[in-house]
Amino acid sequence: MAAVLCQFGKITCLTGEVPEQTCSSAVACRDVGEGREQEAEASPARIAARRRYYQMIFCNDRVSAMTKAAAEDYAFYPAVPGEESFLQEVIEGLSRQPRSIPPKYFYDRRGSHLFESICEQPEYYPTRTETALLKQYAGEIATVAASDCHLIEPGSGSCGKVRHLLDALQPAAYVPVDISCEFLEKSAAGIADDYPWLDVHAVCTDITDEVSLPFIPEQADAVMFYPGSSIGNFDPEDARAFLACLATITGAGGGLLIGVDLKKDADILDAAYNDANGVTAAFNLNLLRRINRELAADFDIGAFAHHAFYNSASGRIEMHLISERRQTVNVGGQTFEFCAGDSIHTENSYKYTIDEFQALARQAGFAPCRVWSDNDDLFSLHYLQVA
Ligand code: AVJ
């Protein structure tokens, strides 16, 4: 059994034994299931799942313990990104010019729910278009991706989309990986309940930092599932490196099913990130609420405005929070001055043509195998094989 560790952030990929110095913190791998199964309405499957709730913080000498946990039909491995790194990244981001905060911090509990709500807005076409593609082509996908595979989903969120694949694909195991631990636990337990034949191994971690997936049996094919055009959050260089990491983790014989938003008319794109109900605005502003709550900061949320637009030269949607007046903000004992009109850049969402994306995938070590898209050419779903 090979441990696989991939540091997306630092863009290094390691396979085999995890070297000692890559341990991110002290080992903690303990059963914390006790006392978690009192909820009256919890189903037997969920109670069983809770009983096998493990806490894991990366380290190499606990690989065997994790493997044992993974042999059960449901396991959960939280490795919560530290509060320290959040504070540090926010302070660094606000000290830079232009100011920016990484979009991964959108997804606290409220942020994850707001994102789910964005996906239901009429202007936000990616989710429903991709879901329709998954439903329509699940059978075809199952002909190119191996059944009995280990299906790994980085950034699994509510684990909603994978439901359209599981019956057709019949993977041996499903491995959702997400930064939002509470949300992940609920979603993964839901999958474990609804697909009793499926092994579910949930990993709570920051996929842009490092991912340790020690439980992929060497003989099993790994298939990555990366829907939602999450790849669009990376600059093209970083996207290539991230895809290369996915190729390394996946290994020979494996593949990647990835959803990629397509370049299109700027009006359609602008509308998708400026929904009339203001959900995207609330999602963007929630970042400041989270910073206030978790980092004892004092952003006046009413004094910042959501701003999103398509930057056609860069081929990306940009989201910003714009200060509406001159103001001073305190974060972690430091003060930051904002003039009216000053921006905090909170997200990029890159769009690709099918050819552009396939070229990127090739550079990352994948061979394009199939691509599906809708009649309006809004969204694409690629199956790539590890070359
Ligand atoms: C989760 C990164 C795919 O870029 O469309 C939606 C996030 N931001 N509305 C996207 C998002 C604002 C979304 N991704």
pLDDT band of 82, cuts 50, 70, 90: low
- pLDDT tens digits, 185-221: 788 888 988 998 888 877 777 666 555 454 555 667 8
* Closest by Cα among 59, 61, 33 to 47: 33
Asked if 84 and 93 count as a contact pair (C-beta separation under 8 A), the reply is no
Task: Please check the confidence at residue 80 and state whether its pLDDT lies above 70.
Answer: no
Best mutation site among 349, 351, 378, 379 for ligand 1 pocket (most ligand atoms within 8 Å of CB): 349
Helical pair 354-363 and 236-250, crossing angle rounded to 10 deg = 60
Residue 368, preceding peptide bond in cis (omega within 30° of 0): no
**Ligand 1 contacts CB of residue 183 (under 6 A):** no
**Ligand 1 contacts CB of residue 156 (under 6 A):** no
**Ligand 1 contacts CB of residue 118 (under 6 A):** yes
What is the C-alpha separation between 243 and 231, in angstroms, rounded?
Answer: 9
What pLDDT, on the 0 to 100 scale, is given for residue 24?
Answer: 30
* Closest by Cα among 312, 324, 250 to 288: 324
- pLDDT tens digits, 253-302: 899 999 999 999 999 999 999 999 999 999 999 999 999 999 999 999 99
Contacts for 104 with CB less than 8 Å, ≥ 6 apart: 179, 206, 208
Show the CA angle centred on residue 45, arms to residues 43 and 46, nearest 5°.
65
- pLDDT tens digits, 297-323: 999 999 999 999 999 999 999 999 999
pLDDT band of 183, cuts 50, 70, 90: confident
- 38: how many CB neighbours lie within 10 A of its CB? 8
Mean pLDDT on 93-106: 96
Best mutation site among 105, 120, 347 for ligand 1 pocket (most ligand atoms within 8 Å of CB): 347
Mean pLDDT on 380-385: 98
- Written as six digits, the tokens of 242 are 């991230």
Please give the distance, rounded to the nearest whole angstrom, from the Cα atom of residue 133 to the centre of ligand 1. Answer: 18
What pLDDT, on the 0 to 100 scale, is given for residue 12?
Answer: 25
Task: Please check the confidence at residue 70 and state whether its pLDDT lies above 90.
Answer: no
Please give the distance, rounded to the nearest whole angstrom, from the Cα atom of residue 103 to the centre of ligand 1. Answer: 9
Mean pLDDT on 163-184: 87
**Ligand 1 contacts CB of residue 347 (under 6 A):** yes
- Written as six digits, the tokens of 352 are 């690709």
- Written as six digits, the tokens of 44 are 């037997």
Placement of tokens 């995890």 in the chain: 18
What pLDDT, on the 0 to 100 scale, is given for residue 306?
Answer: 98
Distances (CA, A) of 312 to 201, 263, 286, 308, 343: 40, 9, 27, 13, 19
Mean pLDDT on 329-342: 97
**Ligand 1 contacts CB of residue 179 (under 6 A):** no
Query: Greater confidence, 83 or 220?
Result: 220
Measured from the CA of 308, which atom of ligand 1 is nearest?
12
**Ligand 1 contacts CB of residue 349 (under 6 A):** yes
Please give the distance, rounded to the nearest whole angstrom, from the Cα atom of residue 62 to the centre of ligand 1. Answer: 35
Q: How far apart are the first and last CA of the chain?
A: 22
**Mean confidence (pLDDT) of the chain:** 80
What are the residue ranges of helices labelled H in 162-222?
163-169, 181-194
Measured from the CA of 349, which atom of ligand 1 is nearest?
4
Please give the distance, rounded to the nearest whole angstrom, from the Cα atom of residue 232 to the centre of ligand 1. Answer: 8
Mean pLDDT on 131-153: 94
Asked if 177 and 154 count as a contact pair (C-beta separation under 8 A), the reply is yes
Contacts for 113 with CB less than 8 Å, ≥ 6 apart: none
Please give the distance, rounded to the nearest whole angstrom, from the Cα atom of residue 99 to the centre of ligand 1. Answer: 19
Mean pLDDT on 2-27: 30
What pLDDT, on the 0 to 100 scale, is given for residue 66?
Answer: 39
Helix (H, G, I), strand (E, B) or coil at 224: strand
Please give the distance, rounded to the nearest whole angstrom, from the Cα atom of residue 17 to the centre of ligand 1. Answer: 35
**Ligand 1 contacts CB of residue 273 (under 6 A):** yes
- pLDDT tens digits, 232-244: 999 999 999 889 8
**DSSP-derived secondary structure for 355-380:** HHHHHHHHHTTEEEEEEEE-TT--EE
**Ligand 1 contacts CB of residue 121 (under 6 A):** no
Mean pLDDT on 223-236: 95
Distances (CA, A) of 327 to 53, 176, 335: 45, 41, 10
Best mutation site among 229, 231, 235, 242 for ligand 1 pocket (most ligand atoms within 8 Å of CB): 229
Please give the distance, rounded to the nearest whole angstrom, from the Cα atom of residue 46 to the centre of ligand 1. Answer: 31
Best mutation site among 104, 106, 115, 320 for ligand 1 pocket (most ligand atoms within 8 Å of CB): 115
Asked if 180 and 156 count as a contact pair (C-beta separation under 8 A), the reply is no
Please give the distance, rounded to the nearest whole angstrom, from the Cα atom of residue 27 to the centre of ligand 1. Answer: 34
- pLDDT tens digits, 122-137: 999 999 999 999 999 9
**Ligand 1 contacts CB of residue 230 (under 6 A):** yes
Nearest CA to ligand 1 atom 2: 230
What pLDDT, on the 0 to 100 scale, is given for residue 245?
Answer: 83
Please give the distance, rounded to the nearest whole angstrom, from the Cα atom of residue 286 to the centre of ligand 1. Answer: 14
What are the residue ranges of helices labelled H in the chain?
44-51, 63-71, 83-95, 109-118, 125-144, 163-169, 181-194, 236-250, 266-272, 279-295, 354-363
Mean pLDDT on 44-48: 38
- 197: how many CB neighbours lie within 10 A of its CB? 8
